[in-house]
Amino acid sequence: MFAVWLSGLSALALLAGIAWYLAPLQPNILALQLAFSPRAFAEVIHAWSAADLLRYRAHLPYDCLLLACYGSFGYLLVSRSALFAAQPATLRNLAMWLLPLAAAGDATENAFHWWLTEVPRFDFAWAYGVAAACAAGKWLLLLGFWLAVLYALDRRRD
């Protein structure tokens, strides 16, 4: 259980730190994450100052640490804790892989955003859509995981 706690608390601490660090960005990073077109992406980037863009780019290595922590946490919570032990194998296996899959999407999004924020790359319109699709998928997988956790917690009361 130590690994579950360590990964969970590390993810929480990194999330809080990154949220605090990126709070000054307006529009916020969710607007950038869900910018499916070069135009929508550019609208966010151009609303930021050069310092804001550097702030965003500087957070990406820490976001990679965060995704490693939350991906590990999800896998470990489901596979090593009692929370999902009494759940059907299908739910347990699905829940076990939701956060690692979200982390993979997050890593892909980060790689594209690192590349797309370096210089304008409007000739690669598809890359903006892929980055936003990875971000949207990440958020849906995160939501799915927390719904599975709530379901498992509710079933434990029965």
Predicted confidence (pLDDT) per residue in 58-72, tens digit: 999 999 999 999 999
Residue 158's pLDDT is 61
Radius of gyration from C-alpha coordinates of the chain: 17
pLDDT digits (tens, 9 = 90+) for 65-122: 999 999 999 999 999 999 999 899 999 999 999 999 999 999 999 999 999 999 888 8
Domain locations along the chain? 2-157
pLDDT digits (tens, 9 = 90+) for 116-154: 999 888 889 999 999 999 999 999 999 999 999 999 998
Residue of 133, 65, 66 whose CA lies nearest to 105: 133
CA pair distance 156, 158, nearest whole angstrom:
5
Look up residue 28 and give its DSSP letter: -
Residue 107's pLDDT is 98
Residue 127's pLDDT is 97
Opening angle at CA 78, ends 76 and 82, nearest 5: 105
Confirm whether pTM is higher than 0.75. yes
b (16+ CB within 10 A) / e for 74-89: bbbbbeeeebbeebee
